[in-house]
Structure 1
Amino acid sequence: MIKLLTFGSIMRQNALKYKDKTAIVFQDTTRTYGELNARANRLANALSKRGFQKGDKVAVFMKNNAAHIDIIVGLSKIGVVIVPINYRLVGKEIDYIIRHSDSRGIILTAEYAEEISTLLPNLPQLDTILVVGETKHTQMRDYEQFLESADDSEPDVVVNETDPFYIGYTSGTTGKPKGAVISHRSRVITGMVAAYEYKIDESDVHLVGGPIYHAAPWIFLVMQLMVGGTLVIHESFQAEEVLADIEKYRITNTFLAPTMYTFLVNTKEEVRAKHDLTSIRVLISAGAPLATKTKQEILDFFSGADLHEFYGSTESAITLNIKPKDIRNKERSVGHPFPLVECLILDENKEPVQQGEIGELYFKAPYLLDEYYKNPEETAASFYNGYFTVGDMALTDEEDFYYIVDRKKDMLISGGVNIYPREIEEVLYTHPNILDVAVIGVPDPVWGESVKAIVVPRAGSILTEAEVITFCEGKIASYKKPKSVSFLSELPRNPSGKILKMELRNIFWKDQQMKI
């Protein structure tokens, strides 16, 4: 018996409907929907023979590749919960997620075999370790041989829509990462509505340019496979390879983080001129705010494409989305609630704020996490009357467009006045010689905190502190202007593109008894 509102059941149907159609392209590998479904069934049946049951966890530690899709489809068919792990993590970080998630299996690529092998003596619960590629480690099994050990019949496992699909661990920018438990129902409905909102169907070709372990690329690959389109998967993001493959495979849509778009629009003119990019019709951005200047550069670069920017999270999928018709005239807005989403903006007393006032954003939707795994306290603290928050501050304008002002934790207080760094960053991004910028609060003996801008200059340019501060005059209130400026060659970011402001703050707050 198979419940239909699960990803595995949809892929079973698509294997019948689109049997000979290309589902995925990865480097020299091309697989049809029929081939993908058969490989996924082999993996599912092989794991079942090993004693894996619905609710067991399997970690995935690899860069993007074709096997990643086998795993997502195959595990979903038997209700085994996928635990994607950021392949940039090391040692104790990996150990924590494997332990915390109760993973009893892990699938990795050969390049990470040595890293994982050093952890195995302290992880006796890992009874199945599969490697994509060659490995000499005796505790690890070859992934392809493992698939060959089982047949490709449809698994006989009842998977319900409310069963967990995967556990997505948050970035952990302010402490230990939390495991967001995401159900099949949540991501299947997300995929359906995203296809409707972004006008994606079986004729589309989607470029997977971001890391699949991250929530956003996961959402969009699920979306494209659900409607019967094709995925072109990149192992990692390389701007020139993206441009080349847009032309080669006639890519029609993609999701990329803002930093990726920045790399694309800053490629050399002679590189851009080599490629026909006219097939692109839908571009989607999220993961960090898209600077107004960057939006314009993207629209100029891909002149025939529609650009969407959404606000969301691992826990909530897509919450707000601004459509192409509004993206030029609503600077810094993330639009209106995504279909099936309800939003509230509440003050500290959980009372609704007035239009134009800043408060904490809460929302409810069928896309939300079920819970934070083994963390009832954090789960309870994040919900209020059925509405969920990740602690972001927002406001609405007279047309009910939403604006994410900043993360609640990023807000700084100077002389008792709340200051939201994102507003200042937007101004600084318009400086022609500023490539990247982060604004934080630093200790101030008089005001408690003062505004500091940390700037990455564009290559070949020379900037001074005075020039940066003067640039803000007349553009924002004087109390919001940076009081100091530091320069770096690059800002620390996590793989989803979010600036790690905690790392920057620690430089200035490490000797302070109080950290505001």
Structure 2
Amino acid sequence: MLTFGSIMKQNADKYSDKPAVIFKDKQWTYGELNKRANQIASAFLSLGYKKGDKVSVMMKNHSAYVEIILGLSKIGVIIVPINFRLVDSEIEYIVLNSESRGFITTAEYAGEIEKLLPNFPQLDTVVVVDGAASASLIEYESFVARGSADEPEIQVDETDTLYLGYTSGTTGKPKGVVISHRSRMLTGMTAAYEYKIDESDVHIVAGPIYHAAPWIFLMMQLIVGGTLVIEESFSPEQFLADVEKYKVTNTFMAPTMINFLVNLNNETKSKYDASSMRVLISAGSPLPTQTKLDVLEFFQDVDLHEFYGSTESAITLNIKPKDIRRKDRCVGQTFPLVECLILDENKKPVVNGGVGELYLKAPYLLDEYYNIPEANEASFWNGYFTVGDMALRDEEGYYYIVDRKKDMLISGGVNIYPREIEEVLYSHPSILDVAVIGVPDPVWGESVKAIVVPREGVVLNELDVIDFCDGRLASYKKPKSVDFMNELPRNPSGKILKVELRSKFWAQQQIKI
């Protein structure tokens, strides 16, 4: 049975005394992890929870997060992970939209949630990890102690929903993405095959578990019987210290995290032995070419993979180490069991080398968007699905994500893809971060603007940036103007909030191209 609970029960038998989870120097074996998951499942059952009920979870990375995922999955209760950085109105939207019946958080956020309780008439259970009980809050360890360590007698099928993950909401309200056990189990199993991960491996969870990608790789490592090292939050130096201490062999990191890591000073990087690391996987946004070269120089023996995917589709495309240098700005070939199409506006296939919208079919896909029929209608076509990304395929069958459809700008009737320009600017030795957007132009409709974050201690001016593009970009693609910022706005997934960057330029325009 392709359910998370069934594989963990099996692993508890096979690897009973083997470390499954390490968090803040404390470890739990597979046997201990499974028993605590059973207790959580039993405790919720004792309160009348049934398959299909939902429990929101909002916390930083914690060993309890793994127990909760596993415990709820054993009884078919749907997990709703919430980003702990959200403000009250955003939390309220997700809890109400998901129709969550329960809520689990940590002491850090308990006061905030307790204030919101009058707005959540459907919530009947709020559990707090590492916190004290009150009239409306249940202390986590006492809650776990209520439950039996025996396996729950609930039939969970692979087609049942495992979790309801909310998209980052770069435009409009976040959408609930309905993900089945089968989807994520197959993703984890296939990822282990693709990245050559087995029970001997140690995976460090550096990114936030509420996000789809760290969740996938967490499941991948537990499915094969390996060990997880969980970091509460990402710190580049602490990451290196943990790699050395626990002999970490693989990890997933978003490009912004990798950028922070490679930009540590050489003295700090040289303090730690990271030679155990053999597989590094990146996704979330394209890995800038210069950052890619820097990380390959630092982790000299690592197999670097970069994949393209989404909450809705899991992993769609993957570029392997053998191609990572040869194929610049490429996201590789289709992940196992994935079929891709590149279609024009009339849903006709685009020839190799042409740009079109990427559609895919795979067993990892979402079931649907939760209670948003218009989004389902817009995203699904003949069994294929799209998130609206523009791509091209070369003659060798390798794919390139050119840009988000909504990020494409049109200047003088010509399509311009900001990602191409950003890649050139990322190679400038004095630029740390960059975003390219279209701004209103009375003649051309839109013109290219670069928004640049210089490296610390560097002075850059507009002409420096524009002149750097000479010979590297066609003249019509070169930025016509440059703004400078100390930091670019990003969502929790690390994606630049271009809507926010554009807003001040388009606010007075009746037509927003």
Please state which band the TM-score falls in when normalised by the shorter chain: over 0.9
| RMSD between aligned residues | 0.7
Structure 2 residues without counterparts, runs of 5 or longer = none
Letter of the structure 1 residue corresponding to residue 75 of structure 2: I
SS class of match (1:152): coil
Give the 5 Å matches for 1:26-37: 26-37=23-34
Aligned 8 A contact 2:131 2:140 in 1:
no
1:103 and 2:85 matched: no
Partner of 2:304: 307
Aligned 8 A contact 2:198 2:226 in 1:
yes
TM superposition shift of 1:95: 0.4
Partner of 1:327: 324
Give the 5 Å matches for 1:14-413: 14-135=11-132, 137-413=134-410
1:419 and 2:442 matched: no
Work out the CA distance in 2 between the residues paired with 1:375 and 1:145. 38
Partner of 1:471: 468
SS class of match (1:59): strand
Work out the CA distance in 2 between the residues paired with 1:367 and 1:412. 31
SS class of match (2:428): coil
SS class of match (2:74): helix
SS class of match (1:25): strand
1:491 and 2:488 matched: yes
Work out the CA distance in 1 between the residues paired with 2:464 and 2:302. 36
SS class of match (2:240): helix
Partner of 1:448: 445
Work out the CA distance in 2 between the residues paired with 1:228 and 1:496. 27
Partner deviation per Cα, 1:385-427 (whole Å, 9 max, x = no partner): 1000000000011111100000000000111111000000000
SS class of match (1:83): strand
SS class of match (1:187): helix
Work out the CA distance in 2 between the residues paired with 1:334 and 1:327. 9
TM-score for the superposition, normalised by structure 1: 0.99
Work out the CA distance in 2 between the residues paired with 1:256 and 1:496. 11
Aligned 8 A contact 2:133 2:139 in 1:
no
Letter of the structure 2 residue corresponding to residue 231 of structure 1: L
Partner deviation per Cα, 1:284-333 (whole Å, 9 max, x = no partner): 00001001111110100100100000000000000000000000010000
TM superposition shift of 1:507: 2.0
Partner deviation per Cα, 1:137-162 (whole Å, 9 max, x = no partner): 42010011011111100000000000
Number of matched residues?
Answer: 513
Letter of the structure 2 residue corresponding to residue 145 of structure 1: S
Aligned 8 A contact 1:113 1:135 in 2:
no
Q: Indicate the percent of aligned positions where both proteins have the same amino acid.
A: 71
Work out the CA distance in 1 between the residues paired with 2:107 and 2:395. 55
TM superposition shift of 1:136: 5.4
Aligned 8 A contact 1:40 1:73 in 2:
yes
Partner deviation per Cα, 1:151-182 (whole Å, 9 max, x = no partner): 10000000000000001100000000001100
Letter of the structure 2 residue corresponding to residue 34 of structure 1: G
Structure 1 residues without counterparts, runs of 5 or longer = none
TM superposition shift of 1:44: 0.1
Work out the CA distance in 2 between the residues paired with 1:390 and 1:29. 40
Work out the CA distance in 1 between the residues paired with 2:328 and 2:464. 25
1:462 and 2:459 matched: yes
Partner deviation per Cα, 1:193-221 (whole Å, 9 max, x = no partner): 00000000000000000000000000000
Work out the CA distance in 1 between the residues paired with 2:218 and 2:131. 27
Aligned 8 A contact 1:345 1:353 in 2:
yes
2:503 to 497, 501, 506: 506
SS class of match (1:263): helix
Aligned 8 A contact 2:426 2:434 in 1:
yes
Aligned 8 A contact 1:90 1:115 in 2:
no
SS class of match (1:40): helix
Partner deviation per Cα, 1:67-88 (whole Å, 9 max, x = no partner): 0000010000000000000000
TM-score for the superposition, normalised by structure 2: 0.99
2:429 to 416, 429, 432: 432
SS class of match (2:8): helix
Work out the CA distance in 2 between the residues paired with 1:333 and 1:273. 30
Letter of the structure 2 residue corresponding to residue 202 of structure 1: E
SS class of match (1:410): coil
Aligned 8 A contact 1:23 1:31 in 2:
yes
Work out the CA distance in 1 between the residues paired with 2:90 and 2:509. 27
For structure 1, which segment, 490-499 or 134-143, has the greater mean C-alpha deviation from structure 2 after superposition?
Answer: 134-143
Letter of the structure 2 residue corresponding to residue 499 of structure 1: I
Partner deviation per Cα, 1:350-408 (whole Å, 9 max, x = no partner): 00001100000000000000000111110121011100000000001111110000000
Work out the CA distance in 1 between the residues paired with 2:57 and 2:26. 20
Work out the CA distance in 2 between the residues paired with 1:209 and 1:346. 36
SS class of match (1:241): helix
SS class of match (1:78): coil
SS class of match (1:120): helix
SS class of match (1:134): coil
Work out the CA distance in 2 between the residues paired with 1:226 and 1:98. 29
SS class of match (1:130): strand
